[in-house]
Structure 1
């Protein structure tokens, strides 16, 4: 899941792409979606392998990326949509790569973690210590949420900017006391550092991190019916994964995409609360707090401003379109 990067270089390209008029030629093209290694997004692999998009009458082309690279591709107008966190949608928009969140896939329910190495038992033990994570990334948000609950300040720790995929190696550095990562990278970090353990996870604040499909405004406006069909396919995916009879097959498919054993991958599902269309529609209701996409996004926006990810607060409502989710 997931990076607060600056997309200044891609902004001009993105804006130009979004300003381009829709045409019948464009409409004939497949919907291009960037996805990356997070259980709530790898779940799409079930529909890909099963051929469910064709059955639904919609042509969708999924492209596999590292998370940050998927955001850069979206910013450059190379894909129509990207699977990201709600907070990262705001970050992309702040630098010109505007997108709208049109469907939810899940909320993180334990798979995002602040991991302490052996001997570190709680967040308070990190005072004055170095923590390796991608600065401004969703794990940064998670960390600050945890520090606040522990009556600590962000200045009580030192952030070392590290790419999420590099955190397993970084946790072995004697100078680093903890890292921030999500599954499956988090599991790799703990495997490679005996005695390492989660100190704070997204299960400690359900609804803090929502995972969404963010679409370019031009594509959504011109092909809303196709995006609605894709949402219906997602509902089928969730049902297949949640059904005890078919879950083993789903896990096998997802594990193969991520390159981990199925028995390991099944544990990741417990840390990701997949949201059906009905469940997602409830979260799309405008309300405060972490039970709402709006409330969670406002919290993320406040974090982004205070952390200096971008300067001015964003109009959160402009980044959310519940029209197909509410159907």
Structure 2
């Protein structure tokens, strides 16, 4: 995921990430305490609280509380936003769990996921023409953005019906082209995300046979921050948590203020309120810090990240790694997946927990 227009270019992005990491990770000098920070985001329903918070003054409110300044910056291309974070142009970025692992973490940039914001609960789906059962996908060409969460969703779907990746042939298709490609009579299978997914589902004789709602909690949307920067500036984590939960609480309200906030977010996303509301309906927001902490500390997250890292390794996204264990992933409670001496992705629930306890 994670913008309404694209998450492609993964292989090129990873190559860039590895190069940038090799250039930037040589210094062991700890970051100094700082005043100004920049956070990157791209358009996706679950991330629209960030630009709205800046527009509404919520970012400034929380930054002022901690005596810092935070600039929330839009990047039109999702992968480019992650690359800019990787290059040190951003201190944090809105990213999926898979991309946090395969771009900065696999490239050697120590990254902390401080907010687990939501999971896709139907925003991503597998479509077939002329069949309403997933088993009918066998032998078909499947159009998707290869090496993206669409590819991961396909692999998980195939698992559920006892198929292997070799039972289908994927055709790499950009998110910008997938709607047009699926409109061709010769194309009978595809994996896509919203809003393209909703357009494609409306085509005649088309059926959604699997979606991210069938693997709840696996395609996660995060706010990640450079770990060294965070450790030197914990007030950044506190401010970001305060911003997020205040804004999401407003987003969920059903009164006039909530409606106005959702309308403003829709406008910032370049869509209408009704479309934005439909996308929110297939986005499971962890709208309270307590719910987010529970999700982050649950054993299910380790299971999910095991699946994600195994898929990523098998597809060659851990360049030069001898095994999936090469990239260490840390979880609350001192749990570690993979190489505990080379942890570069950390699920850090401290700031969500402070919000849950009312201690921000």
Tell me whether the two structures share a fold, i.e. TM-score over 0.5.
yes
Going from structure 1 to structure 2, the CA distance change for 1:72 and 1:239 (only over 3 Å counts) comes to same
| Inter-partner Cα distance in structure 2 for 1:76 and 1:185 | 30
Residues 1:315 and 2:328 are matched in the alignment: yes
Cα offset for 1:50?
A: 0.9
Q: Which blocks of at least 5 consecutive residues in structure 1 are unaligned?
A: none
Going from structure 1 to structure 2, the CA distance change for 1:97 and 1:189 (only over 3 Å counts) comes to farther
| Inter-partner Cα distance in structure 1 for 2:243 and 2:135 | 44
CA contact 1:7–1:96 (8 Å) conserved in 2: no
Describe the SS at the equivalent of 1:37.
coil
Correspondent of 1:166 among 174, 177, 189: 177
Q: Which residue of 2 is the match for residue 220 of structure 1?
A: 230
Q: Which residue of 2 is the match for residue 235 of structure 1?
A: 245
Residues 1:101 and 2:110 are matched in the alignment: no
Going from structure 1 to structure 2, the CA distance change for 1:197 and 1:43 (only over 3 Å counts) comes to farther
Equivalences for residues 56-71 of structure 1 within 5 A: 56=62, 57=64, 58-65=68-75, 66-71=77-82
Q: Which residue of 2 is the match for residue 51 of structure 1?
A: 57
Cα offset for 1:62?
A: 2.1
Equivalences for residues 1-327 of structure 1 within 5 A: 1-2=1-2, 3=7, 4-5=10-11, 6-14=13-21, 16-17=23-24, 19=27, 21-23=30-32, 27-29=34-36, 31-56=37-62, 57=64, 58-65=68-75, 66-92=77-103, 93-117=105-129, 119-190=130-201, 193-245=203-255, 246-275=257-286, 276-285=288-297, 287=299, 289=300, 292=301, 294-310=302-318, 311=321, 312-313=323-324, 314-317=327-330, 318=343, 319-320=345-346, 321-327=348-354
CA contact 1:141–1:303 (8 Å) conserved in 2: yes
Going from structure 1 to structure 2, the CA distance change for 1:15 and 1:284 (only over 3 Å counts) comes to farther
Structure 1 vs Structure 2 CA RMSD:
2.1
Going from structure 1 to structure 2, the CA distance change for 1:166 and 1:64 (only over 3 Å counts) comes to farther
Which segments of structure 1 move beyond 6 Å, counting only runs of 4 or more? none
Going from structure 1 to structure 2, the CA distance change for 1:155 and 1:271 (only over 3 Å counts) comes to same
Cα offset for 1:254?
A: 1.9
Q: Which blocks of at least 5 consecutive residues in structure 2 are unaligned?
A: 331-342, 355-360
Going from structure 1 to structure 2, the CA distance change for 1:23 and 1:315 (only over 3 Å counts) comes to closer
CA contact 2:21–2:87 (8 Å) conserved in 1: yes
Going from structure 1 to structure 2, the CA distance change for 1:241 and 1:190 (only over 3 Å counts) comes to same
Going from structure 1 to structure 2, the CA distance change for 1:257 and 1:198 (only over 3 Å counts) comes to farther
TM-score (norm 1): 0.89
CA contact 2:125–2:208 (8 Å) conserved in 1: yes
Describe the SS at the equivalent of 2:90.
coil
1:58-104 alpha-carbon deviations (Å, 9 max, x no partner): 52222223222212222222211121111211101213344221111
Going from structure 1 to structure 2, the CA distance change for 1:33 and 1:157 (only over 3 Å counts) comes to same
